[in-house]
Structure 1
Amino acid sequence: MYKNLTYLLKHSAVILVILFFVRICFAIAFVPMGLIGSNLTVLPRLLFNVLRFDMQVVCYVLLLPTVLTFVFATLRKPWTDRVLSRFRKVYYAIVNILILALSGIDLGFFSNFNSHINLTFFDFFNEGPLSLIQAIWEEYHCVYEGLAFLLLSLLILYVIRRIESDKVLARQTNCALGGRKTSRCQLIKLSVIILLYIAFVVIGMRGSVWRFPLQIEDTFVSNQKLLNDLVPNAIYMLKKACKEKAKAFKVESTDDLLAQYKFKSLQEALDVYTDGQIKIAKNDTLTALQRALFAEVGDSLKQPQPNVVIIYSESWSNYLFNLQQKDAEMNFGLDRHFKEDLLFRNFQSVQNGTINSLENLFVSTPFPHFFTSSYRFNTLPTSIALPFKASNYTTMFMSGMDAAWENCAEALPHQQFDAVYDKFFLLKDYPHATYNSIGVYDEYLFQALLDKLNKPSKKRQMITVMTTTNHPPFEFPKDLKLPPLPDSFYGKKCFAERNRKVLDKYLTGFRYYNKALNDFLNRFKASAAAKNTILVITGDHNVRVILNHDVIDKRYEHSVPLYVYLPPYLRKEAYSKLTNRWGSHDDILATLAPFAFRNTKYFKMGKNLLDTSVSDSTYYSANVDQIEAIPSYQKKAERLTAARNLLRQVYFGLYWRTQQ
């Protein structure tokens, strides 16, 4: 048993050497030495995460031969070691050569696409095997690469043979089975070795001994893309691509969508949504849909364009603001800002998850997991960044998290975001900043945001922000001090969560964020940025788990607040009378458009919440799970939402067909 486990570890070392060799090739080919030299402090973390990713591959490869080794050990037959040796030769020859081949393919993929293997890798196989072979032969240096692969494969086979060429194996096996009993000390030693070995394999497969297993965020170790690209191996990236491919959405046929949304024709849906103003002419459905879904903006701005900041606050619940009381501080000074500015309480998120809400804001796609689909490499005409850039804005996404999460760092530049500012930029610019397993604490994110707004800029800035601290596992700054809540507070009927420790974590997250936000707003309003910046602050979705929706009003189930700060030169007294309108995330862009856009068009999913010429009764709030409006407008709102969603899905289906 011990001998066979030793063989497995030796074979594992060969895999590590192969993967390390490929990393050296990658660094020589793609990473400037000056970049490495100027980021030496990152190297320990980089090498550690490289080892984690490679050990995960090693341990998954170990799984099958380990199981066979344990099974054969129970047989105690003289032929088992010989069979295992032959199996290992074949198994590791195949596995190691496949790893080498896949790593080489990944290097070639990176040289052409500046990215490791991703979803587009599978597009090569859509051409058919003959076309694929022809393309590889014509476009790549197959002769030199083939010779290198052959030489390395022969070297690998030689090493495998040397590992398994222990001529005394059979003799040792016969002696072991010849009647000599294993001493108690040897048995204990072997048991400890086996337990340590199993622990090694299990931890290696998980890639972590901490709260979270190895994940895509661990590929980010700095704010330099090429250094981050050194971390993952080809096997992990192929696994990630396969997972994304399995989750890829399906574009449904128009007939199926009509039946789903209960319309007889697209024209009927257009009539409902546009009040009969747009007709499909000459069977040109795409043009009609573009006219219905996009809004044109001329050059009617009479005042300077402001900076625009949209903050999506993690799990920022609308209902929890109702729990403020004298002996239970929940709002931490936000009430003053809510009174001074605009606060919409009849408001919902459109989606009920963080990435879904961000994708809805950024590209308004009707399909989930857009950022992990092959379409993420295309700039969509619905991107929120396009009308801002056309109106002479710079565009940025900021967050305390690793931007590798859900491919944000990869997808957003394709949607015309000029910059993605994440955890590693924050830690570089603010070395004193602290963070948890989710990201840099929100207070430092707000400091970075304020500094960017106050820094002179030739162009106006559009900045979208995603906070992270109010998120499980709810790890807060060590120096955080909040006034305690009374014991009776935790027993309120509105709470579904009865475990006080769990409930307290959720409430602390909400309270911490409100305190950090209030501090930011105080400093913001005292700065020069307040004179020329619009702030739009909302929740990405309602808080989960802790609220009992059988007790509280159903309108709060998906409700998040919407806070709007307007600089003095854009304020109107009439706006304060409009805050009882129903609204959702879809209304944010339409509300900002009159203040920011010039000579452009944008994807208009909602209505301008500050339009004084429209009746409050025609506003509604569309969440994917429920639609809210005044009772007399409820059915109309549901029909409008169905028509809009149908038209949007058909539009995206037609648009993507034109891109293929």
Structure 2
Amino acid sequence: MWFYRFRQACLALLFPWLLAVFTQSAGRAYLLFTHGASKTLADFSLDVTRMFWIGGLFDIRIASLLFVPCLLMAGCLAVSNRIFLIWQRFWPWVAAILSVIVLIMTVVNVFYYATYERFIDVFVFGLIEDDTVAVLSTVWQSYPVIGVLFCLGLFSIIVFWFYRRWQRWLGTKPKYKISLPISIIITVVILFICFLGMRGSVGTFPLRQHDVQVSTIKMLNMLTPNGLIAMYWAVNAHQKNNQFVTATNEKGTELLSRFLERPTQASLTPFIAKTDTNRVAKKNPPNVVLAVMESMGYHLQSLDHHQRDLLGALRQHWLTDWHFERFISEGDGTIDSLNRFFVRSPMSSISQSSTQTAAFISNMFTPYLTNGYKIIFVTSGNGAWQNLNQFLPRLGVSEFMEQNGLKKRYPDASIGTWGVPDEYMFRYMKERLAEADKKGEPIFMMSMSTTHHPPYKTPTGYRKTDVELTETEKQRLRNLATDDELKTVLNTLAYANDQLGLFISWVKSQALGTHTIIAATGDHNIRGIGYPDTHELVLGHAVPFYLYVPQDYRQNSYFDSSRVGSHKDILPTLYQLSLSETTYYRTGCNLLSKTQDNTWCQGYNPEVAITAEGPCILTVHKEFRPWANQKGLFLGDPKDMTPEQEKQCNRWSTFTDLLWWQLNRQVGGQKSH
């Protein structure tokens, strides 16, 4: 009899589940047909279909997350007929409440989009955190609140009445026995379908926020999620991204004085710098390309040699152009590093936070915007990831290209777990450079690759090489992967390097190569290798920094490959190469200056700061370790610090707090105490 009661519960909850899916889909359809331009959407019929498909999966996921737990509870209570009768009495109430919640959040999402042209996000919390009375007054004046409340009340009565009738009808159905094996099979199938419904996906990952990016049309991306999933994301972002504190003058004075080693009053002025006079750049502004490569870590790059080609077409440029190897990423994750580039934010989730619309003085694009550059951001991944498709346009990015746009432009591109293969990103970059050069407009183009990312897979058609490693190397990388999987990791790296190299070769072969500067670095060292040995501490954060600078723009540049640096130094270096007498926000130094600025010129990561003599470990137990060799990133044993080394360690141990202070000062203003 247990299966009979379980089956009855399953049928009972089927209707509210279907209603939840239908309600959310209806809200999406309503917004599309009331706010979408039919002529525009007619040209994007496939994108509209994809929007409804992915949106429907979100609706299924939410409906399943609401009602599958009810089914599981019913299954537990079905062991006793007496207890199951209690469940039968109460489930219509629960189902009606959940149905009303689904409708409320759908209506809220509809009104939210009508007002802001985006799905519910962290700004919905302005109802509480801003002037609540003013917000409620605006809602009262702008929307038919009474009519909506009346309809919600009527809806709740109707669905409750219907669920009660449905329960009574199910109770009249005759009972019949089903064999135990068939019962078990049907139960397992039902539970498996429920599991898939709660995931919303049969792929590697459950349906996630970045899956809302289905088109190059912003509206379709904004309509893809439903109200409940959007609210869930908003709550998570609100909890995670609003830990801003007041940037007091007292704290700022303390931190600035410690880092700069001189009494300094609290302000952002110490971060403001100006590029030197650059007559060549002023007369002929160069294009500037900053390519951030997924997991281009120094460790795996160092495994390359002529008999084991991991560089591909990048090799010739690697050997002849400038690159720094004692160089570390500032962040240890992709978005962490990117947001430090974008606005010098130590908060990795700033792009999703309530301050995402702030006018950041530290905006990396401002110096180029000031000089009339067009700003382009290209990624082979999903543009909705970490809210970049909304955050970057607010910073001045006028052209944002991501996987869906690349797929539309190049139909042969296939979208994988993390995006399209990198070759399509570089293909687009070449076309945009050629187009801009033809128009005579300088561009600053930043790219973010995604192919060299787990789950590793080389694109179809790419010729793999049989990468042979020594037993020692295999043992060292065993935490990352083994056997064929490890070879795939290295082949994926080789593919990404090769595509970068082909792009650089193309630039150099064109006339625009004489006035295009290219910089490339990794977002972080590849994760998963593991670095338990403190002699490899820097290696765990190490990424290379490559520079191609046309001859005409090398004036006043001094290249020394032994210099140390980190991500914070890339933009100051590019500014000096390409801009004349332009103000910029400085937290790093120009790596090509003839004389190094000892205040800003060490490499920095929150865990370690590297100097020419060796790194300072910036953990709780601070220590200094010299380099083990003249080249490379292996460390020697700890040594007693000299006064100068102790001074540097003390300075850089302050830097993380200083970065937080300057961010809080930018987004939250100031107080005297």
Mark yes or no: TM-score above 0.5: yes
* Aligned-partner SS, 1:564: strand
Q: Per-residue deviation at 1:503?
A: 2.3
Distance in structure 2 (CA, Å) of the matches to 1:652 and 1:60 = 38
Alignment of 1:270-289 (within 5 A): 270-274=256-260, 276=262, 279-280=264-265, 285=266, 289=267
Query: Mind listing any 5+ residue stretches in structure 1 that lack a counterpart?
Result: 259-264
Q: Does 1:290 align with 2:268?
A: yes
Q: Which residue of 331, 334, 342 corresponds with 2:311?
A: 331
2:244 is the alignment partner of 1:251? yes
Instruction: Flag the 1:126–1:617 CA change in 2: closer, same or farther, 3 A.
Output: closer
Which residue of structure 1 lines up, in the alignment, with residue 219 of structure 2?
A: 226
Q: CA deviation at 1:563?
A: 0.4
* DSSP 3-state at the match of 1:588: helix
Which whole-Å CA distance do the structure 1 matches of 2:553 and 2:152 have between them?
Answer: 65
The answer on whether the counterparts of 1:249 and 1:367 sit within 8 Å (CA) in structure 2 is no
Which one is further off, 616-625 or 241-250?
A: 616-625
Matches within 5 A, 1:124-523: 124-127=127-130, 133-166=136-169, 169=171, 172=173, 176=175, 182-184=177-179, 187-252=180-245, 266-267=252-253, 269-274=255-260, 276=262, 279-280=264-265, 285=266, 289-297=267-275, 301-303=279-281, 304-455=284-435, 456-486=438-468, 488=470, 491=473, 494-497=476-479, 499-523=482-506
Q: Which moved more, 1:152-161 or 1:25-34?
A: 152-161
Q: In structure 2, what is the Cα distance between the partners aligned to 1:488 and 1:290?
A: 52
Tell me the matched-pair count: 632
Q: What code does the residue aligned with 1:501 have? A: D
Q: Percent identity?
A: 23
Three-state SS of the structure 2 residue aligned to 1:376 is coil
Distance 1:537 1:527 in 2: 19
State the SS of the aligned residue for 2:15. helix
Residues 1:347 and 1:194: Cα distance change in structure 2 (over 3 Å): same
SS of corresponding position for 1:605? coil
- The answer to whether structure 1 residue 657 and structure 2 residue 640 are counterparts is no
Q: 1:538 to 1:97 in 2, by over 3 A?
A: same
Q: SS of the counterpart of 1:164?
A: helix
Identify which of 500, 512, 516 aligns with 1:529. 512
Give the conservation status (yes or no) of the 8 Å contact 1:249–1:368: no
**1:36 pairs with one of 27, 35, 41:** 41
1:292 alignment partner AA: P
Query: Distance in 1 between the 2:512 and 2:519 partners?
Result: 14
Match in the other structure for 2:538: 555
Change (3 A) 1:209 1:583: same
Correspondence 1:16 to 2:21: yes
- Call closer, same or farther: CA 1:32–1:489 in 2, change over 3 Å: farther
Q: Please tell me whether the aligned partners of residues 360 and 667 of structure 2 are also in contact (alpha carbons under 8 angstroms).
A: no
* One-letter amino acid matched to 1:201: C
Task: Point out the more displaced range, 155-164 or 83-92.
Answer: 155-164
User: What is the rounded CA distance, in whole Å, between the counterparts of 1:444 and 1:311 in structure 2?
Assistant: 14
Structure 1 residues 158 and 458, CA gap change in structure 2 (3 angstroms): farther
User: Which secondary structure state, in structure 1, belongs to the residue aligned with residue 78 of structure 2?
Assistant: helix
> For residues 129 and 360 of structure 1, do their structure 2 counterparts lie closer, same or farther at Cα, with a shift above 3 Å needed?
closer
Distance, in Å, in 2 between the alignment partners of 1:360 and 1:26 is: 36
Q: Structure 1 pair 553/658, CA: closer, same or farther in 2 (3 Å)? A: closer
Deviation, structure 1 residue 345: 0.9
Q: 1:158 to 1:274 in 2, by over 3 A?
A: same
Q: Which has the larger displacement, 355-364 or 144-153? A: 144-153
Are the structure 2 counterparts of residues 154 and 377 from structure 1 closer, same or farther at C-alpha, using a change threshold of 3 Å?
A: farther
The 1:391/1:12 distance shift into structure 2, 3 A limit, reads same
Q: In structure 1, what is the equivalent of residue 621 of structure 2?
A: none
Aligned-residue offset at 1:636: 3.9
Deviations 1:75-118 (A, max 9, x none): 034x734x333322211211111111111111111122221111
- 1:581-600 to 2 correspondences below 5 Å: 581-598=563-580, 600=582
Which has the higher mean CA deviation after the structures are superposed, 98-107 or 322-331?
322-331
Cα distance in 2 for partners of 1:618, 1:423 equals 37
Matched, 1:543 2:543: no
Counterparts of 1:494 and 1:552, CA distance in 2:
14
Distance change in 2, residues 1:612/1:630 (3 Å): same
Secondary structure of 2:456's counterpart equals coil
Please say which of residues 125-134 and 204-213 is displaced more in the overlay. Answer: 125-134
Compute the displacement of 1:153 (Å).
4.2
Check the 8 A contact 1:272/1:640 in 2, yes or no: yes
1:222 deviation in Å? Answer: 1.2
User: Any conservation in 2 of the 1:395–1:417 contact (CA below 8 Å)?
Assistant: yes
> Whole-Å Cα distance in 2 between the matches of residues 402 and 157 of structure 1?
41
Amino acid at match of 1:546: I
Q: Conserved in 2, the CA contact under 8 Å of 1:387 and 1:601?
A: yes
Equivalent-residue separation in structure 2 for 1:400 and 1:650 (angstroms): 34
Of residues 623, 641, 657, the one that matches 2:605 is 623
**Residue aligning to 2:561:** 579
The corresponding residue for 1:63 is: 68
Q: Is the 8 A contact 2:378 2:447 kept in 1?
A: yes
TM-score normalised over the length of structure 1: 0.89
Read off the aligned partner of 1:621 and give its amino acid letter. Answer: G
Post-superposition CA distance 1:416-471 (Å, at most 9, x none): 21121100111111112233211111111111111111113453111111011110
The one-letter code sitting in structure 2 at the alignment partner of 1:92 is: A
Cα displacement (A) at 1:27 = 1.2
| Amino acid in the other structure paired with 1:387 | P
Of 138-147 and 398-407, more deviation after overlay is shown by 138-147
Give the Å deviation of 1:5: 1.4
Structure 1 residues 426 and 634, CA gap change in structure 2 (3 angstroms): farther
**Whole-Å Cα distance in 1 between the matches of residues 370 and 581 of structure 2?**
8
Backbone CA RMSD of aligned residues: 2.8
Contact kept? 2:245, 2:668, Cα under 8 Å: no
Query: SS of 1:395's equivalent?
Result: strand
User: 2: distance between equivalents of 1:113 and 1:648?
Assistant: 32
Paired residue type of 1:582? V
- Flag structure 2 segments of 5+ consecutive residues without an equivalent: 614-641
> Counterpart of 1:250 in structure 2: which amino acid?
Q
Q: What is residue 568 of structure 1 aligned with on the other side?
A: 551
Residue matched to 2:118: 115
1:601 maps to 583
Asked if the contact 1:223/1:424 (under 8 Å) is kept, the reply is yes
Deviates further, 464-473 or 297-306: 297-306
1:213-267, CA deviations, whole angstroms, 9 ceiling, x for partnerless residues? 1001211111111112221100000011111122124234668x98xxxxxx644
What corresponds to 2:9 in structure 1?
4
Of residues 43, 48, 54, the one that matches 2:53 is 48
Distance 1:32 1:251 in 2: 40
Does structure 1 residue 80 correspond to structure 2 residue 84? yes
Pairwise CA distance, 1:622: 0.7
